[in-house]
C-alpha cells in the first residue's frame, strides 16, 4: 500500500473550541489504484485531501492520526521537506479550472515552475518536457499554446493544463478534488478518459473526491463513503454497485432520479447532516436512518466485514428487503392529455450587441438565442437540455421578458408578450414565474420569509388584506412542506433544500400556469434534490402547473420530463416526447450527449461517443450547421447550410442533414 491514512482526525478552531470535521478515518491506496471518496457536501471530503497535502486553511488543525506514504510519515515532516512532496510525489487538481491557474502567467511559466522546483529542469530540456506534457494531456499545437495565457483557453482546456501541471512533478499520487464538477458532460467524459489513460500509463494512484455516483462508477476501483466526517462504508467497485450495505449508501442510490423511477416518488433522506458542533455520540446517521435501533443512538458502530464490504453499521439486515419496503408509489399520471398549447414560442431571438472602441460602436452580436421555437402544453413538463453557454438560461429570462427578445413571438395563452409594457405585462407575468438555480442567491437575506413570499402578491395585487395575506402565505408554506413558523424567520436559518422550497412557494404565490425552473436542483445534494423533485411532481399533479425545466442533468430529465428539447448554440436541434428523444435520439449531438452521461451502475454505457473540442462561442458560430466541427458524421453540406427541421415522427423534430437526405 502506497498511501496509508490511519485514524486521521482534522478539525477547525471556532473561538476556543475545536470542531472535528474529519473524525478518525482510515484508508489506504495502492499503486495504480483509484480510490474514490464519495459523500454529500460538508461531510469532510475536501478537508481530508487538504489534510493529506497539509494544506489546511488557517483555522484548520491536525488533531491526531497519521498519514504515511511509502512508509514515511507526512504529518511529522518539517514544512520545508513537505514542499518537496507537494507537487513532487503527490499533486492535486481542483474543482474550478477558472481560478486554479494564475491569470497573469503564461501556461509555460506555470508548468516550468513545477519542473524547476521538483526536477531542477530549466531551458531547452524544460521546454521539451512541457511540450511533451501538453501533448500527453491532449492539447493540440503545444508549441503555440505554451506561450498563451489562461484566458485564451476554454474551461476543459484549463483543466487539462491543470492536470499537466500536476503531472509535471511526476507524482505517484494524484488527488483530484471534484475534477469535473464544473465541466459539461461531454468535456467531463474527455477529462475522465484522460485521467484513466494517464493512470494506466504511469501507474499513478488517484484519490478521487466526488459526490457523483456516475463518475465513481466510471473511474473508481475502490470506494469509501463518507458521512459527517466519518467513513461509513468501504468496498470494491463491483461490491459497491452490486449491493450497497450501509443504509446511507442505499438511500443515496434510491434518491437518484432515473428513467425507471418515472412516475414514482423518489426516496428521500429525512433531516440533515448533523452540524459539527452537535455531533451525536452514537452512530451519526442514526437520526436519518430507516433501520435505526436503540443501540445506534448510544454506541458508535465498529467496522464489520460483509462480503467484500467494510461497513460501520449495527444493522445487519439485507438491502433487498429495504428495497421492497422503501419502494416508491405512483404520484403522477404521465399520460396527461394534450390540450391547447399554454405557451407558444416562435422564432425567438436574443442578440446581445458587442461594443468596442471609444464610441462604443456595435461590432457584432452574441447570438445567445437564435431562432428558437417551442411549445408547452398545460400541466406538462418540457425539459430544455444543453451544455453551458448554449443559451438555456437566456431563453428562460427572455420568456419572462426579463431580457427583451430581439425578434420572434412569445404567445401566452394566445396573448403576445413581446413588446408588452407596464400594467399589461405585469398582468401577463402572473401566469408565468421562475425558480432559480442558487437557493442562496435567490432569496434576499434581509427580508423575512413571509415578506419574500408576499412580495409577488403585493406587486401583482393578488391578495389585499393583511390577515388574509398571512393566511395565504401560511397555506403556501404548508403546500411546499414548511411549517407556518417559517413566516417570521430569515432565509439564513434554512438549509439549501428548504430555501429552494421557499423559492417555489414564492413563485406559486401568484398562481402561475407555468413555472420556469432554471437548474433548480444543481446546487443541491442528491438526497435534497430528490425532495425538491418530489415536491415539483406533487405540485404538478395537484395544481396542474406546466414546467419549463432548464437543465444539463439527464437523470433529472429522464425522471421528470414529458417532452425534451435539446439546445445547441442558441437553437433547438432536436425535440420530441421524452421516450423518443431518450431511447431513440436522432441528432448526433443528442446521441453524443446521452452517451457521455456517466451512469451510476456497473454496466456503463457501451460506447461513449467522443466529441472533440467544446461548444464554440455564440458570438462567432460556425457556418452551416453549428455542430459540424464536432460532429462525427459531418458532410460537405453541413459546412454550408443550416439543416431544416425534419419531422421524424408526429412529435419528434430533428434539425440534421443526415435525416433530410
Alpha helices in 331-437 (DSSP H): 392-399, 422-429
Distance CA 58, CA 450 (A): 39
Q: Which is nearer to other proteins, 1 or 460 (CB)?
A: 460
Q: What residues between 486 and 545 interact with other proteins by CB under 8 A?
A: 490, 492, 503, 506-507, 510
Element (H, E) at 547: strand 546-551
Q: What are the residues facing 651 on neighbouring strands? A: none
Q: Is 412 in the site for other proteins (CB under 8 A)?
A: no
Site for other proteins in 146-205 (CB under 8 A): none
Write out the binding residues for other proteins, residues 364-393 only, by CB under 8 A: none
Q: Is 186 helix (H, G, I), strand (E, B) or coil?
A: helix
Question: Which of 393/655 has CB closer to other proteins?
Answer: 393
d(CA 215, CA 399): 34
Is there binding between residue 433 and other proteins (CB under 8 A)? yes
The one among 437, 527, 540, 655 contacting other proteins by CB under 8 A: 437
Q: Which is nearer to other proteins, 110 or 442 (CB)?
A: 442
Q: How far is the CB of 622 from other proteins (least distance, A)?
A: 29
Cell triple for 130: 512541457
CB-wise, 322 or 428, nearer to other proteins? 428
Toward other proteins, which CB reaches closer, 262 or 429?
429
Q: Pick from 170, 193, 438, 579: which binds other proteins (CB under 8 A)?
A: 438
Instruction: Please give the residues from 439 up to 458 whose contact with other proteins meets the rule CB under 8 A.
Output: 441-447, 452, 455-456, 458
Beta strands in 214-319 (DSSP E): 222-227, 230-236, 303-306, 309-312
Report the DSSP pairing between strands 173-177 and 90-93: parallel
Residue among 653, 656, 599 at smallest CA distance from 632: 656
Among the candidate windows 93-101, 115-123, 215-223, 433-441, which touches other proteins by CB under 8 A?
A: 433-441
- In the set 256, 400, 546, 565, which binds other proteins (CB under 8 A)? 400
Query: Which C-beta is closer to other proteins: that of 123 or that of 445?
Result: 445
With residues binned 3-state (H G I as helix, E B as strand, rest as coil), the percentages for the chain, rounded to 5, are 35, 25, 40
Give the burial class of 498: count Cβ atoms within 10 A of its Cβ; 0-12 exposed, 13-18 middle, 19 or more buried. Answer: buried
Nearer to other proteins, 382 or 434 (CB): 434
Residue placing its CB nearer to other proteins in the complex, 458 or 636: 458
Per DSSP, helices labelled H in 522-575 are 526-543, 554-560
At 311, give phi and psi (nearest 5°): -130, 140
Q: How far is the CB of 371 from other proteins (least distance, A)?
A: 24
Residue count, binding to other proteins (CB under 8 A):
30
CB of 425 to other proteins, least distance (A): 7
Q: Judged by CB, which is closer to other proteins: 121, or 457?
A: 457
Q: Residues with Cβ < 8 Å from 144, sequence gap 6 or more?
A: none
The C-alpha cell at 21 is 470535521
Q: Tell me which residue has cell 489513460.
A: 197
Asked if residue 363 lies in contact with residue 356, where contact means CB atoms within 8 angstroms, the answer is: yes
Q: Which is nearer to other proteins, 39 or 491 (CB)?
A: 491
Q: Would you tell me the crossing angle of helices 319-326 and 247-255 to the nearest 10 degrees?
A: 40
Cβ atoms of 243 and 319 closer than 8 Å: yes
Nearest 5°: the CA angle 460, 464, 467 is 135
Query: Smallest distance from the beta carbon of 510 to other proteins, in angstroms?
Result: 7
Of the candidates 460, 605, 619, 645, which one interacts with other proteins according to CB under 8 A?
Answer: 460
Q: Given candidates 86, 237, 397, 575, which one binds other proteins under the rule CB under 8 A?
A: 397
Report, in Å, the least distance between residue 443 CB and other proteins: 6
Q: How far is the CB of 406 from other proteins (least distance, A)?
A: 17
Stretch that binds other proteins, among 43-51, 437-445, 525-533, 561-569 (CB under 8 A): 437-445
Helices in 544-617 by DSSP H: which ranges?
A: 554-560, 578-583, 588-596
Q: Which residues bind other proteins (CB under 8 A)?
A: 397, 400, 402, 425-426, 429, 433-434, 436-438, 441-447, 452, 455-456, 458-460, 490, 492, 503, 506-507, 510
Amino acid at each position: 500500500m502506497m498511501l496509508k491514512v490511519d485514524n486521521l482526525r482534522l478539525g477547525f478552531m471556532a473561538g476556543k473550541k475545536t470542531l472535528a470535521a474529519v473524525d478518525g478515518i482510515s484508508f489506504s491506496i495502492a499503486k495504480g489504484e483509484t480510490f474514490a471518496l464519495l459523500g454529500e457536501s460538508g461531510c469532510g471530503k475536501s478537508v481530508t485531501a487538504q489534510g493529506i497535502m497539509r494544506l489546511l486553511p488557517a483555522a484548520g488543525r491536525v488533531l491526531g492520526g497519521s498519514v504515511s506514504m511509502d512508509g514515511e510519515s507526512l504529518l511529522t515532516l518539517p514544512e520545508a521537506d513537505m514542499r518537496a512532496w507537494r507537487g513532487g510525489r503527490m499533486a492535486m487538481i481542483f474543482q474550478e479550472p477558472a481560478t486554479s491557474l494564475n491569470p497573469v502567467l503564461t501556461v509555460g511559466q506555470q508548468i516550468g515552475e513545477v519542473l524547476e522546483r521538483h526536477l531542477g529542469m530549466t531551458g531547452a530540456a524544460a521546454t521539451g518536457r512541457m511540450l511533451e506534457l501538453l501533448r500527453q494531456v491532449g492539447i493540440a499545437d503545444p508549441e503555440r499554446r505554451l506561450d498563451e495565457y489562461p484566458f485564451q483557453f476554454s474551461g476543459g482546456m484549463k483543466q487539462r493544463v491543470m492536470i499537466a501541471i500536476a503531472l509535471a512533478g511526476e507524482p505517484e499520487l494524484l488527488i483530484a478534488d471534484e475534477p469535473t464538477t464544473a465541466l459539461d458532460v461531454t468535456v467531463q467524459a474527455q477529462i475522465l478518459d484522460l485521467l484513466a489513460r494517464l493512470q494506466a500509463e504511469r501507474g499513478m494512484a488517484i484519490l478521487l473526491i466526488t459526490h457523483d455516483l456516475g463518475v465513481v462508477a466510471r473511474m473508481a476501483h475502490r470506494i469509501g463513503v463518507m458521512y459527517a466526517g466519518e467513513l461509513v462504508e468501504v468496498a470494491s467497485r463491483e461490491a459497491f454497485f452490486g449491493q450497497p450495505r450501509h443504509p446511507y449508501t442505499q438511500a443515496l442510490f434510491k434518491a437518484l432520479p432515473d428513467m425507471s423511477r418515472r412516475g414514482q416518488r423518489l426516496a428521500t433522506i429525512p433531516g440533515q447532516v448533523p452540524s459539527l458542533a452537535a455531533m451525536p455520540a452514537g452512530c451519526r446517521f442514526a437520526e436519518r436512518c430507516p433501520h435505526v435501533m436503540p443501540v445506534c443512538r448510544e454506541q458508535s458502530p465498529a467496522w464489520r466485514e460483509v462480503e467484500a464490504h467494510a461497513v460501520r453499521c449495527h444493522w445487519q439486515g439485507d438491502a433487498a428487503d429495504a428495497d421492497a419496503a422503501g419502494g416508491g408509489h405512483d404520484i403522477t399520471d404521465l399520460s396527461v392529455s394534450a390540450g391547447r398549447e399554454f405557451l407558444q414560442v416562435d422564432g425567438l431571438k436574443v442578440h446581445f450587441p458587442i461594443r468596442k472602441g471609444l464610441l462604443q460602436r456595435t461590432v457584432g452580436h452574441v447570438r445567445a438565442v437564435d431562432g428558437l421555437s417551442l411549445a408547452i402544453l398545460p400541466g406538462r413538463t418540457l425539459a430544455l437540455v444543453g451544455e453551458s453557454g448554449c443559451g438555456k438560461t437566456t431563453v428562460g429570462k427572455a420568456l419572462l421578458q426579463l431580457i427583451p427578445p430581439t425578434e420572434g413571438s412569445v404567445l401566452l395563452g394566445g396573448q403576445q408578450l413581446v413588446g408588452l409594457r407596464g400594467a399589461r405585462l405585469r398582468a401577463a407575468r402572473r401566469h408565468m414565474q421562475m425558480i432559480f438555480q442558487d437557493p442562496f442567491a435567490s432569496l434576499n437575506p434581509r427580508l423575512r420569509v413571509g415578506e419574500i413570499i408576499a412580495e409577488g402578491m403585493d406587486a401583482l395585487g393578488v391578495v389585499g388584506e393583511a390577515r388574509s395575506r398571512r393566511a395565504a402565505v401560511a397555506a403556501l408554506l404548508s403546500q411546499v412542506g414548511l411549517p407556518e413558523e417559517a413566516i417570521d424567520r430569515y432565509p439564513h436559518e434554512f438549509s439549501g433544500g428548504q430555501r429552494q422550497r421557499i423559492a417555489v412557494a414564492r413563485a406559486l404565490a401568484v398562481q402561475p400556469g407555468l413555472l420556469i425552473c432554471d437548474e433548480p436542483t444543481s446546487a443541491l445534494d442528491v438526497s435534497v434534490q430528490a425532495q425538491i423533485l418530489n415536491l415539483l411532481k406533487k405540485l404538478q399533479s395537484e395544481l396542474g402547473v406546466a414546467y419549463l425545466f432548464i437543465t444539463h442533468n439527464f437523470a433529472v430529465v429522464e425522471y421528470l420530463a414529458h417532452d425534451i428539447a435539446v439546445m445547441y448554440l442558441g437553437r433547438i436541434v432536436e425535440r420530441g416526447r421524452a421516450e423518443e428523444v431518450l431511447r431513440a435520439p436522432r441528432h448526433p449531438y443528442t446521441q453524443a450527449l446521452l452517451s457521455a452521461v456517466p451512469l451510476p451502475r456497473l454496466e456503463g454505457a457501451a460506447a461513449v461517443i467522443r466529441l472533440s473540442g467544446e461548444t464554440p462561442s455564440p458570438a462567432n458560430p460556425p457556418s452551416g450547421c453549428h455542430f459540424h466541427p464536432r460532429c462525427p458524421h459531418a458532410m460537405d453540406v453541413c459546412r454550408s447550410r443550416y439543416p431544416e427541421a425534419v419531422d421524424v415522427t408526429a412529435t419528434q423534430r430533428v434539425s440534421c442533414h443526415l435525416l433530410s437526405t
